[in-house]
Amino acid sequence: MSTHAHVSPATTKPATTKPATTKPATTKPATTKPATTKPATHQPGSDYAGLARQISDAGLLRRRPLSYVVRFTLVGGALCAAWAVFFRLGDTWPQLVTAAVLAVLSGQIALLGHDLAHRQVFRGRRRSESVGLLVADLGIGLSYGWWTDKHTRHHAHPNNEDLDPDIQPDVLVWSQGQARSSTGLTRSVGRVQAYLFFPLLTLEGFNLHASAVKAVVRPGLGRRRAETILLAAHFTAYLAALFLVLSPGRALVFLLVHKCLWGVYMGMIFAPNHKGMPTCTGDEMPDFLRRQVLTSRNVRGNWLVDIALGGLNYQIEHHLFPAMPTPHLRYARPLVRAYCAQLGVDYHETGLLRSYREALRELHRVGAPLRTPRSPA
């Protein structure tokens, strides 16, 4: 709207002012001025539209069915092989290696569920949801409906302290404002949260299971009955396998190793994406492109990093185009990076280890108010 207000005086002025001799002098600046101001934030919607056209013209929004067939086959085959080894080894301590392998495979299954939730695999909601329920609820004991709702809200408002469910102060705090208003356990943990971050991730697998159970117990979940049945089937089959094959002591150790390592792996996948990046509050709402780019961090790496992080190391591209199939994200990166440079929008990218250092440094910084003794009233 601001551009229309800018242009209309420029077009009416020549008509109402002086004769033909002054027209070229007054119209030329009027035509060149919009060209110099257009990249600024007067037309935020058009900034994203320009990038979206480039991405679409490059064919990067097309589905990659063969790639996902291969990926589902490899992960599914590896899962079957791991459980075959489990039953083959029997009640022995080498089973802890199997538990570690299952932790990695659980993370890979979660990444497939993530892509299904974004409709990267199938276009239709119904098919994506049906397969997603099998992958998440039955496969790893994670509520697909609960996670999809939470993740959708995160994508709409990344790093918004009021609206992003991923940075609500629960055990950790994500800004100094949250630190100052924290109480109880959150206040105690917040003082040293940078040191406790990775140890706390060992509980994340259990937290995901607990959240799944809470989701199906409470009314409001979309396909609540289906999720209840699938979650019950997962937990029953998993615990039956452990306690029928292993002695009670080994079964408990196996469970702890599996779930704790899964939690750490999940945290290592998702922590580099936004942790340590700028946060905002509800009244600070930049346009869509800047909201997604400025709160996200890309992680450089080779093919192994791409596989380990499920393509989410291209977080900026993923947030700009959530439905883009994961194999295309790496090809979108140079287009997005060049476009951001053209607009003067900061595009943050770093190595994997540095991304963790940045996240931990910021966690330590925001906890600073809790390490400062309160002044007496």
Two structure tokens written together for 234: 């997962």
Q: H or E segment at 349?
A: strand 349-350
pLDDT higher than threshold 70 for residue 2: no
How would residue 126 be classed by pLDDT, with cut points 50, 70 and 90?
very high
Please say if the pLDDT value at position 5 is more than 80: no
Tell me the mean pLDDT in the region 83-100. Answer: 98
* Pairing relationship of beta strands 298-299 and 349-350 according to DSSP bridges: parallel
Rounded Cα distance, 273 and 154, in Å: 12
Q: What residues have CB less than 8 Å from 31, skipping those under 6 apart?
A: 10
Range 81-85 contact pairs with CB under 8 angstroms and sequence separation of 24 or more: 83/241
pTM exceeds 0.95, yes or no: no
**C-alpha distance from residue 149 to each of 118, 159, 186, 303 (Å):** 11, 16, 25, 30
Joined together, the tokens standing for residue 314 give 């291209």
From residue 103, give the alpha-carbon distance in Å to each of 72, 74, 116, 241.
17, 16, 20, 16
- Helix (H) and strand (E) counts for the chain? 20, 2
Segment 251-258 shows an average pLDDT of 98
pLDDT of residue 286: 84
pLDDT of 18 over the 60 cut: no
Q: Tens digit of pLDDT for each residue in 314-327?
A: 999 999 999 999 99
If you count them, how many residues does the chain have?
Answer: 377
Tokens of 367: 């906890």
Residues 257 and 206 sit within 8 Å (Cβ to Cβ): no
Q: What is the pLDDT of residue 36?
A: 36
Q: Residues 158-216: pLDDT tens digits? A: 999 999 999 999 899 999 999 999 999 999 999 999 999 999 999 999 999 999 999 99
Contact (Cβ atoms closer than 8 angstroms) between residue 295 and residue 274? yes
CB atoms near residue 180 (< 10 Å): 14
The pLDDT of residue 240 is 98
What are the DSSP calls for 237-262, one per residue?
A: HHHHHHHHHS-HHHHHHHHHHHHHHH
Q: Are 79 and 109 a contacting pair, CB within 8 Å?
A: yes
Distances (CA, A) of 86 to 103, 120, 284: 13, 32, 52
Chain Cα centroid distance, residue 294: 14
Write out pLDDT tens, residues 50-69.
999 999 999 999 999 999 99
At position 184, the amino acid (one-letter code) is G
According to the model, what pLDDT value does residue 40 have? 39
Per the CB < 8 A criterion, the answer to whether 68 and 121 are in contact is yes
Residue 374's pLDDT is 66
Query: Which strand (E) or helix (H) includes residue 346?
Result: none
